[in-house]
Amino acid sequence: MTILRSIRAVLDGGPSSRDRALAGRLMRVIFGCYVIVAVGLTAVQMMVAYRAASQRLQDDVAALQRTFTPGIEDAMWRYNAEVLRGILAGMQEIPAVVGVEVRDEAGRRVQATGTFTDEAGAVWPVGRNEEAKLAARPFGTPFSRTFPVVHTDENGRIYPIGSWTVHSDDSIAIEQVKNTLYVILINSAIKSVMLWFIFYLVIRTMVGRPLGQIRDYLARMDADSLGAPPLMIEAGGRNELHALAGALNTMRDRLRWSFEENAALMRDLREMNATLQDRIAERTRDLETLAHTDLLTSLFNRRKLDEALAEATEDRERPLSLILGDIDNFKSVNDRHGHKVGDQVLIAFAGLLRDAVRPTDILGRWGGEEFMLLCPDTDLAAAVALAERLRQRVEETALPEAGTRTCSFGVATLAPGESTDSLVGRADAALYRCKRNGRNRVEVSASLWSETGLKERGAA
């Protein structure tokens, strides 16, 4: 009982209003620290974002030299004003460009578009008649890059013919940082509201109220009141306060409850063991499926295709054909749209093939943009017909972002005594001939061409 009196003395240190005052102070201190850290991190993030955006803007402007100098040089050398005007109009659409002007070798302006800032800091927008008029200076610091224009004739002689200047403004980078600030502020506001709610729930509800209940319970307990009703903590979750209440409630009958707890523990362990075994079995099945599946397209992967090839070639009395398909000029999709769109194109291409093949065929991703189709009980003529149907279907279907694309197919049929490596090699060689002969074709392995009497197929 001495222990109970000591605990009661510690907890019974004042009215419940002090608990609430302590909870409020804890909330203010914790939340104040969070605000200080958040503001500091936001400032650092804004500075880093601005520097990165400004550097990207500088790099974008510098990169324009490699892109547009050849066209400007050709247009100026040929005195083609329309082409030059079109080039400048195209450059004006680039976000990093606010103005472009072209001057001849004498420094006279040939053409200009957009706005530019002179040496005195005045902003001059160029009108439809290409006349400059003084305008108010926009927010931000303007900068420009001037690139020389020279022509080299067929004899290697160099002729300076002028220069062209790109005008930009770091307000573009500032605008990007401003948008980032809006996102950060909204994100911080949402986090602040959620954190304040969590603080309130944890400190006021899950700490203050249980402490008051424990203090009141101990105030009523003495040596003659051990038979009092058990202490019930009115707070969600399980924490140290619940453990303390449980210890107070089970102090008299610990021995009796220990047996029941042990029995309950054994039941829980048996149930957990059964559940764990089921999860292990399920995970094993998932791993087996994953080991034979291409993660991007959900088709069979190369490992599964190798196993299927080995199994299919065991029965040499039944015909077996192999088709290798490849998306034409797939690298241009990645270069133009990015690898994310390239992955979407591969997924859509795999779906086209999956919907078009027969139930008995085995379809998988051989590697990169190359797909393999194993056709059991299929001779060369049927395999070529199937490949041609696949080629036409792909050609007529628009793929995500990339539009309609074409593909090439190499076909080979397993010869008596031939190895799987040889079969794949002949199909790959046929696919290579498709690429060499113009793509969007179906080519047949040359070593079996004369035996089948078929004619090579292809699409222009």
Report the alpha-carbon angle 275-278-279, nearest 5: 85
127 — phi, psi (to 5°)?
A: -80, -175
The active-site residue out of 119, 234, 240, 369 is 369
Query: 433 burial class (0-12, 13-18, 19+ CB within 10 angstroms)?
Result: middle
If you count them, how many residues does the chain have?
460
Angle at which helix 81-92 crosses helix 16-77, to 10 degrees, equals 170
Active site residue 369: yes
CA distance 304 to 321: 17
So which residues are the catalytic ones?
Answer: 369
